[in-house]
Structure formats: structure tokens, C-alpha cells
Homo-oligomer: A and B are copies of this chain.
Amino acid sequence: MFVLGIDPGLSRCGYGLVAGAGDRSTRPGGVTAVTAGVLETDPRAALPERLCLLRDELRRLMAEHRPDVVAVERVFFQVNARTAMSVGQASGLALAEAAAAGAEVAQYTSNEVKQALAAWGAADKAQVRRMVATVLGLAAVPGPPDVADALALAVCHLFAAPVRRAVAEARR
């Protein structure tokens, strides 16, 4: 199973593709990073053109890698209203393009990612990123931060999805 994590943003949108083996991916050894990077748009360009470019890049990414699942960070309002709006706009594009590509779409808050990877809520972002490196068997923390966060979303899905399914089945 291929999971594409997306850390939405207009200036920088991180992505990370992780390969797991379904339920068995809960074993750290069963998860590997396939590719990762950052989609960037020029802050000097007009907003509609930047969103259009990001849309095209996201579409290209889905077409190239055909992920089974796309895990997008669930964003909330932040202190900086200007940034929050563009993050919301970028997340809208990511969710729409993922659904259009026929992928299953999951959303996780940064807290859910933290709990899935670090097992305690008080972990900071740096600790979560080190856990990503450990789980994926990487020698160093992947960078830049947008990439580490996108990979963390994908790993979170592989860890959290089996638990979600088990809970859903137990409720039936």
C-alpha cells in the first residue's frame, strides 16, 4: 500500500510517499520512504496563478505515484490569519485532487500525528521528526521540515488506519 502524505501550504507544500504492507506496516521494519519533496510557488506571483500551479503539481504527483491513500494534515485557524487562509486554500486543492485521482483520503491533525508517532502528547516537532527517521530506517531526519511532516502524515496513516479499522469493526 502506498500512502502519500501532504503538508499543505501555498509557498511550500511538503509531500512524502511511503510504502507499507497494510496491517503489517504497524511493524516499524515494514515501512519505507519511496520519495519526498516540496512543491513551491513564487510568493511574488498572483494568488490565482500560484493556486493554479499548485493544483497542477498536485495532480502530476497523484498521476505519477498513484497512491492508494492520501493523508492530508487537517488544518485549523492559526494566529496568522493571512497564512491560515492560504493553508486552507492549499488543503482544499490537495483534498479535491486526491479525491479526483480516486485515492482514499484521510485527514489527521498535527496532534494525531504526534500521538501516532511519539506515543505521548507532549512530544515536540523535533522528536516526531526523529521518530519518522527511525520508523523509516533513515540515517538522518529527512529535511526540510515540510518533507519530514509530510512523511510523518503518511506513517501516521499506516499506524493509525489499522487501529481505526479495528475500532470500527468492534463497534459493529
Contact between chains at B85 and A89 (CB < 8 Å): no
Asked if A75 is an interface residue, CB under 8 A from chain B, the answer is yes
Task: Give the docked Cα–Cα distance between A98 and B47 (Å).
Answer: 11
Asked if A42 is an interface residue, CB under 8 A from chain B, the answer is no
Asked if A163 is an interface residue, CB under 8 A from chain B, the answer is no
| Interface SS of A by simple majority | helix
- Contact among B76, B84, B85, B93 for A93, CB-based, below 8 A: B93
Q: Taking the nearest CB of chain B, how far is it from the CB of A81, in angstroms?
A: 5
Q: Which of A48, A51, A93, A105 has the most CB of B within 10 A?
A: A48
Asked if A88 is an interface residue, CB under 8 A from chain B, the answer is yes
Task: Give the docked Cα–Cα distance between A88 and B51 (Å).
Answer: 12
Residue of B nearest to A70 (CB): B48
Which A positions have Cβ atoms within 8 angstroms of B? 46-49, 51-52, 54-56, 75-77, 81, 84-85, 88-93, 95-100, 105, 107
